[in-house]
Amino acid sequence: MPDLSDFAPTPAPAQGPIFRPTARFMLAHPAHFIALGLGSGLSPVAPGTAGTLWAWLSFLVLQPWLSTVQTGLLIGAAMLLGWWACTVTAQHMQVADSGHIVWDEIAAFWLVLWLVLPAGLGAQLAAFLIFRAFDAIKVGPMAWADQRFKGFGPRGGFGIMFDDVLAAFCTLLVIAAWTFFWRAA
C-alpha cells in the first residue's frame, strides 16, 4: 500500500524558486510528474505548446479505446488530479504558475478535442491554434481567472487549472460561432 504522505503537500525546497525544473525534480514526486505533463513541460522552448501537443497526440491514441462517457470521466478525473498536482508542484517550485506546469493545458485541450471530434485534421489544428492563442494571451475571462486565483495552495492550483478551462470554453465558442456562420453563409 502506498504511503499517503507522498500525496500530501510538503514544505517548499530550501534552495529557492525553481524556474526551470529538471527530470530529477519531475521524478521526485508523483505530483511533479503529472503537473509537468509526463515530461512535456520540461521542454526548454514553449512548454505550454509542447504540453498541448502532447495532449493532442495522447487524445488521438486514447480515443479509439474509450467511449464518449469514458472520455468525459477521464477528463473530469484529469481535472481533479491536475488541481492536486498543480497545487503541490507550484508549492514545491515556489512559482505560483510556472509555464512548465502543463497539466492544465493537457486536461483543457482534451476537453476541446472531446467536444469537437470527430473533426478533420484542419479543424483540430484550428482548435489547437485558437486554444494556444487564448491560453498564451490571457485576455478577458482568462486574465480575470489568472489574476483572481493567483497564489499557492488549493486556490492557486485551482487557478492554474481554471484559466485553461476558460481558454477551452472560449475556443469552443469561437469554433461554434465559426460553424454557425459558415453554415448560414
CA distance linking residue 119 with residue 133, whole number of Å: 20
| Confidence band for 157, pLDDT divided at 50, 70 and 90 | very high
- Residues 6 or more apart in contact with residue 142 via CB below 8 angstroms: 134, 135, 163, 166, 167, 170
- pLDDT at residue 134 in the model: 95
Average pLDDT of the chain, as a whole number: 90
- Give the tens place of pLDDT for each residue, 24-63: 999 999 999 999 999 999 999 999 999 999 999 999 999 9
155 close to 149: Cβ distance less than 8 angstroms: yes
Each domain of the chain, given as residue ranges in start order, spans 16-184
- pLDDT at residue 2 in the model: 42
- Which range, 7-16, 61-70, 175-184, has the best average confidence (pLDDT)? 61-70
CA distance linking residue 27 with residue 163, whole number of Å: 26
b/e burial code for range 3-39 (CB count within 10 A of at least 16 → b): eeeeeebeebeeeeebeebeeebbeebebbbbbbbbe
Three-state DSSP class for residue 66: coil
**Burial bucket for residue 1 (CB in 10 Å: 0-12, 13-18, 19+):** exposed
CA distance linking residue 151 with residue 157, whole number of Å: 8
| Confidence band for 4, pLDDT divided at 50, 70 and 90 | very low
Which pTM was predicted? 0.88
- Give the tens place of pLDDT for each residue, 94-131: 998 899 999 999 999 999 999 998 989 999 999 999 99
CA-atom Rg of the chain in angstroms: 17
CA distance linking residue 168 with residue 3, whole number of Å: 35
* pLDDT tops 90 at residue 11: no
- pLDDT at residue 141 in the model: 86
- pLDDT at residue 14 in the model: 52
CA distance linking residue 73 with residue 93, whole number of Å: 29
Three-state DSSP class for residue 83: helix
CA distance linking residue 37 with residue 46, whole number of Å: 13
- pLDDT at residue 35 in the model: 98
Output the CA torsion sign for 170, 151, 18, 77. Answer: negative
32 close to 89: Cβ distance less than 8 angstroms: yes
